[in-house]
């Protein structure tokens, strides 16, 4: 994370500024952020308790596979940051923003969410907590709600987004959703 942060700071300080902005303007998104925060806190507390009391331990193979998925997902996350300098933590359209339709954006419309779903679902397994994993299964559902609202904003405010939706059919995972 530090390396990606430093590279972003050097190569695209405006992107870093947008990524650090947490003031969400969309009311629907504020609820998504609140619920996400709650599930993250619960998941990490459960992982800590599971570690402390040894309620259930996962096989080493599962932890290794989850670690590989985490690393690949983080590489994907970094690639999305490289491809789309308009990325923001909040749902907004920047002045002079253009639709990015190449690279990962030519496969799915929301590759950042794809990467974060895999990141956040692999973390509890790496932390050896099936209970945290179960809690984190709420995250993809929350992302679906976030995308619904985000796409309304993009359709309304981003020139060319409706045509992009026709070109790239899948939102998160090719051939599935």
Record the tokens describing residue 1, joined without a space: 């994370």
Q: How large is the average pLDDT for residues 127-150?
A: 95
Tell me the C-alpha distance between 24 and 43, whole Å.
24
Record the tokens describing residue 88, joined without a space: 């923001």
% of the chain at pLDDT higher than 70: 93
**pLDDT (tens digit per residue) in 77-107:** 999 989 998 887 777 888 889 999 999 999 9
Tell me the C-alpha distance between 157 and 88, whole Å.
15
Residue predicted with more confidence, 153 or 23: 153
Q: How large is the average pLDDT for residues 21-39?
A: 79
Query: Residue 29: what pLDDT?
Result: 78
**Contacts of residue 117, Cβ cutoff 8 Å, sequence gap at least 6:** 139, 140, 143, 172
- The DSSP string of 60-97 is HHHHHHHHHHHHHHHHHHHHHHHH-TT--SSS---TT-
Query: Residue 2: what pLDDT?
Result: 77
Q: How large is the average pLDDT for residues 42-49?
A: 96
Query: Residue 155: what pLDDT?
Result: 96
Indicate left, alpha or beta for 128 from its phi (over 0: left) and psi (-120 to 50: alpha).
left
Tell me the C-alpha distance between 79 and 104, whole Å.
8
Q: Taking 70 as the threshold, does the pLDDT of residue 22 lie above it?
A: no
Query: Residue 110: what pLDDT?
Result: 97
> What is the distance of C-alpha 18 from the center of its chain?
15
């Amino acid at each position: 994370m530090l390396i990606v942060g430093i590279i972003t700071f050097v190569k695209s300080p405006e992107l870093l500024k947008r990524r650090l902005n947490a003031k969400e303007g969309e009311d629907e998104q504020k609820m998504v952020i609140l619920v996400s925060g709650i599930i993250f806190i619960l998941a990490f507390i459960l992982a800590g308790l599971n570690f402390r009391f040894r309620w259930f331990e996962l096989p080493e193979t599962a932890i290794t596979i989850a670690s590989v998925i985490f690393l690949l997902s983080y590489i994907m996350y970094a690639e999305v940051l490289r491809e789309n300098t308009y990325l923001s933590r909040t749902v907004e359209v920047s002045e002079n923003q253009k639709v990015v339709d190449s690279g990962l954006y030519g496969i799915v419309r929301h590759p950042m969410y794809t990467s974060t779903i895999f990141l956040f679902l692999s973390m509890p397994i790496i932390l050896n907590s099936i209970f945290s994993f179960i809690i984190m299964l709420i995250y993809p559902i929350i992302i679906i709600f976030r995308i619904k609202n985000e796409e309304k904003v993009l359709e309304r405010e981003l020139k060319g987004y409706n045509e992009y939706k026709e070109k790239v059919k899948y939102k998160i995972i090719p051939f599935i959703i």
